[in-house]
A = this chain, B = another copy of it.
Amino acid sequence: MEQFKVVLNDQEIPRQWYNIQADLPRPMKPPLHPATGKPVGPDDLAPIFPMNIIEQEVSRERWIDIPEPVLEKYLLWRPSPLCRARNFEKLLDAPVKIYYKHEGVSPAGSHKPNAAIPQAYYNKAFGIKRLSTETGAGQWGSALAMACQMFELECRVFMVRVSYEQKPYRRIMMRTWGAECIPSPSNRTEAGRRVLAEHPDSPGSLGIAISEAVEDAVTNKDSRYSLGSVLNHVLMYQTIIGLEAQKQLEKIGVYPDVVMGCAGGGSNFGGIALPFVRDKIHGKKISIVGAEPSSCPTLTKGPFAYDFGDLAKMTPLLPMHTLGHDYVPAPIHAGGLRYHGMAPIISHLVKEELIEARAYNQMETFDAGVKWARTEGFIPAPETGHVLAAVMDEAKRAKEEGREKVILFNWSGHGLVDLASYDDYLSGKLIPYELPDEEIKRALKAIDGHPKP
């Protein structure tokens, strides 16, 4: 009988996260204070994050111990299986072996709890009582809701209004886990009220919701803010994915030629990729590829520049690939990964030519998602459809080149709470939209005059 999965038992779970900052050939540029143009120090961030997390954000330690209480929550579903996609391989009929990390097995259905659990833990340990965050499609908000419940923290989630209305199941998840979910823009914050005064019917955006969540955290006692992607510590928590994958592949004596992930803010891609970037820095021959939507092509079309993380300019200036902090994806874009920026770590590694990026339009991503569901069973999240399109593309290239390849990718989550977009796709309501160059030019005006990294 052929093997389909490599499982690890509880005792085999990695006990440390990997911090790529210890191994970078050239260090990353620091975030800047927008008023002074000077690097942001730990004290500048203290109203937003607890100091124990800030220390990890700037740490150069290679390995960071995973605290026992975090490990115990991880063990509710981790280690996640490493699966061989034999049925999808057959369909593609190309000289590739395809392995995937199945992050859909978590309670929230995605990789997001990997970062939510430690954030809740460290905030609790620092004496914080309440976390505020934002969520787009709802993956991050529901993951943090669960994590806060487990560590007895209050949780308030600002959810992009159009998603709040279109995805009632996501807010029911958050409510079931005991969190408060508020459609954004809201009248709870100055930032929200400002948007509503100008646009009473605003559908909201991640940029607006971040502004609201940050304001809510810094203006309330014993509260802090929590972000589900982009930042260094978030990507570090996600490295549990890649570290497990390395152990699992070792067990079957396989090393990948290509590692892939879909890329929005960069957390699931970084999670699987960073431990392999380390290998590459130390001489391994390996391609590492991020897949993003051609309707929000941050890495493939956005410049590497200093930009704000949010619309209201409440965050420091981050060195990252960006489409401009006031960019809002077109409503026709159904597939998630809508953030205007990209994790500074990922952006830096693209500049260093250690990883590369490719963009796919939503017809390609939903086509790949349906093909996957019909062969491998699991219905992928629309976000995950992007990496599946990239895997199909890579298989096609391997066939054309006549080269055998082992592909490893991160199956970031299932789509069972995001099925409406599949209905639209199967009903012929989607088009292969790509963001036009003139739109990009217009969006980039928002960063005119920003310093260059």
Contacts and interface: CB of A to CB of B under 8 A. Distances in A.
Interface of A: 1-11, 68, 71-73, 75-77, 83, 87, 105-109, 113, 146, 149-150, 168-169, 172-173, 175-178, 370, 373-379, 416-417, 419-420, 422-423, 426
Contacts of A10: 1, 3-5
Nearest to A369: B176
B1 A173 contact: no
Contact of A2 (B9, B72, B373): B72
A251 to B, nearest CB: 10
Nearest to A75: B4
A9 B5 contact: yes
A7 B4 contact: no
Contact of A419 (B108, B149, B176): B176
Contacts of A419: 168-169, 172-173, 176
A118 to B, nearest CB: 15
Given A107-B376, A150-B374, 5 more contacts: A1-B75, A7-B8, A107-B379, A173-B416, A175-B422
A21 to B, nearest CB: 28
**Which 7 A-B pairs give the minimum distances between C-beta atoms?**
A107-B377, A4-B75, A172-B419, A169-B419, A107-B378, A7-B7, A172-B423
Contact of A76 (B71, B374, B377): B377
Nearest to A2: B72
Contacts of A73: 377
Contacts of A9: 5-7
A391 to B, nearest CB: 17
A2 to B, nearest CB: 7
A73 B113 CA distance: 28
A448 to B, nearest CB: 43
Contacts of A377: 73, 76-77, 106-108, 113, 146, 150
16 contacts: A7-B9, A76-B378, A106-B377, A107-B379, A150-B375, A168-B419, A168-B423, A172-B423, A172-B426, A173-B419, A175-B422, A175-B423, A175-B426, A176-B374, A176-B426, A178-B374
